[in-house]
Amino acid sequence: MRSVTRKLAMTSAVAAASLGAVMASVGTASADPTVTPAATDIVSVGSDTIQSFDNGLSVAYNATSPASKYYSWDATPAGNIVPKTGAATIARPNGSSAGISTLNSTTHTTVDIARSSRGPKTGTADWFIPFAVDGVGWSAYTGGHAPANLTSAELTGIYNCTYTTWNSLPSNPTSSTATIKVYLPQANSGTRSFFLQALGITATSEPCWQTATPEENEGTDAAFQSNPDAIFPYSLSHYVGQVYKGKGGGTDLPGALDANRSLDGVAQILTASQDWNSALSLTYTRNVYHVVRQADWSDPVQGPRLKALLDRAISNGWLCKNGASLITSYGFHTLGAACGTRTAGI
């Protein structure tokens, strides 16, 4: 039976790969659901970094006419949303941690999945289910004072305020004397959380951090305009998606910033192959996740709905079995056999 299942799975995978190619060609998928999801549908909230991917996932998955369709609510704009029929009215979660908090303060009648670009914290309420790999690097004002390369020590020194001017960087002593404008995304951002952790910074604020906290991966923010000293972390997958894959639009674009820089001498972006560089240190790459309640995963009604979308390929989870071309079309790297491996956390 398993071999027959696998043959069927391979056939489905080929079909899905074709579907993914079609998806990749149609550009940015729509943002919030254009219909009110049914009570039995699956809805997600949370991360900005993977929201474009999840919008595309929604379109691709729902085209297969699943029993429970999947809809993804963007991280912005601020305000209240009613995620699906019969749901409670909630403040729209902006960011991974906000999405996870909402997941854990509601039930499946309101939210089923939190999108997360950060990993699990200690706890047992949820399953973190990875589906792709992202790189997180640094971006700066195009044509500004930032150098082409920063070392890890310099990047840490910038964000812990050791280096406050460009010419204080050990590798850059003859450059501008201008003050570095250090930006981070808002506090609930998974990219912010991961980036600071990668740099070994545990402080929740530093004197050199700018007050403004622009939406992550959006160099279009007013804070960056005519700001040649701006520096800002960036999801490299999202950057590739915006610049090379046609997945940006509106404010969701690099704007005044570019991530076409080097980190420890390793180019973050491979312009020839239009990809981010997997040679970056493991420190600067991360898994990205869908987060579900453990109770829902094992529930006889909710579990099959979630597993049909998120389970491992061998268990016929749609994303892990069929989503490779969709994942790369948004600039992320695939996880292969590891897709769908669960980790407990909150």
Partner 1 sequence: MNRTAVRALAAAVALAATAVALPSASATGTPASGSVALTATNTFLSQALQSGIAAVPLPSATGSYDSTAGATVSFPVTGGNAVLPRFYGSLTLGGGLAFADGRTGKIVCFHQVAFGADTQALTAVPDGGTAPVALFDLGDNTVGSAVGVTPQTLTGDADVDPAGAAYLDKALNTTFFTGGQVVGSLSVTFTPAS
Residue 290 engages partner 1 in binding (rule: CB under 8 A): no
314 touching partner 1, by CB under 8 A: yes
Min. distance of Cβ 287 from partner 1 in angstroms?
Answer: 7
The 234-273 site mask, x for binding partner 1 (CB under 8 A), equals: ----------------------------------------
Question: Which long-range contacts (C-beta less than 8 Å, at least 24 apart) are formed by 24-30?
Answer: 24/245, 24/325, 24/326, 24/329, 27/246, 27/247, 27/249, 28/52, 28/55, 28/246, 28/247, 28/248, 28/249, 29/55, 29/56, 29/58, 29/59, 30/55, 30/59
Instruction: Tell me which of 47, 97, 287, 328 binds partner 1, using CB under 8 A.
Output: 287
Q: What is the DSSP string of 55-113?
A: HHHHHHHHTT--SS-EEE--S-S-SEE--STTPPPEEPPBSHHHHHHHHHHS-TTT--E
Instruction: State both tokens at 1.
Output: 């039976």
Judged by CB under 8 A, the stretch of 40-48, 67-75, 268-276, 312-320 that binds partner 1 is 312-320
CB of 316 to partner 1, least distance (A): 10
Q: Which is nearer to partner 1, 199 or 335 (CB)?
A: 335
Q: Which of 46, 95, 190, 340 binds partner 1 (CB under 8 A)?
A: 340
Pick one of 5, 30, 179, 271: the residue that binds partner 1 (CB under 8 A): 5
Contact residues for 29 (Cβ-Cβ < 8 A; gap 6+): 23, 52, 55, 56, 58, 59
Size of the site for partner 1 (CB under 8 A): 26
Neighbours of 227 (CB within 10 A): 19
Nearest to 135 by CA among 32, 272, 236: 236
Tokens representing 109? 């009648």
- The continuous run of DSSP H or E covering 237 comes out as helix 236-244
Instruction: Tell me the closest approach of the beta carbon of residue 190 to partner 1, in angstroms.
Output: 13
Residues 6+ away with beta carbon under 8 Å from 178: 145, 165, 166, 228, 229
Which of the ranges 73-81, 173-181, 221-229, 282-290 carries the binding residues for partner 1, by CB under 8 A? 282-290
User: Binding residue for partner 1 (CB under 8 A) from 78, 272, 282, 301?
Assistant: 282
Which region, judged by CB under 8 A, interacts with partner 1, from 114-122, 212-220, 244-252, 324-332? 114-122
**Cβ 12 to partner 1 shortest distance, Å:** 15
Binding marks (x or -) toward partner 1, 6..45, rule CB under 8 A?
x---------------------------------------
- Choose, by CB under 8 A, the member of 119, 144, 157, 241 that binds partner 1: 119
Residue position matching structure tokens 């305000």:
79
Cα–Cα separations (whole angstroms), residue 253 to 57, 184, 222, 243: 20, 16, 13, 8
**Rounded least distance, CB 156 to partner 1, Å:** 18
Query: In whole angstroms, how close is the CB of 135 to partner 1 at the nearest point?
Result: 13
The interface region with partner 1, picked from 20-28, 164-172, 176-184, 332-340 by CB under 8 A, is: 332-340
Binders of partner 1 in range 127-146 (CB under 8 A) = 128, 130
**18, exposed or middle or buried, with CB in 10 Å at 0-12, 13-18, 19+?**
exposed
Q: State the minimum distance, in angstroms, from the CB of residue 181 to partner 1.
A: 31
Contact residues: partner 1, CB under 8 A? 2-3, 5-6, 119-122, 128, 130, 282, 285, 287, 312, 314-315, 335-338, 340-345
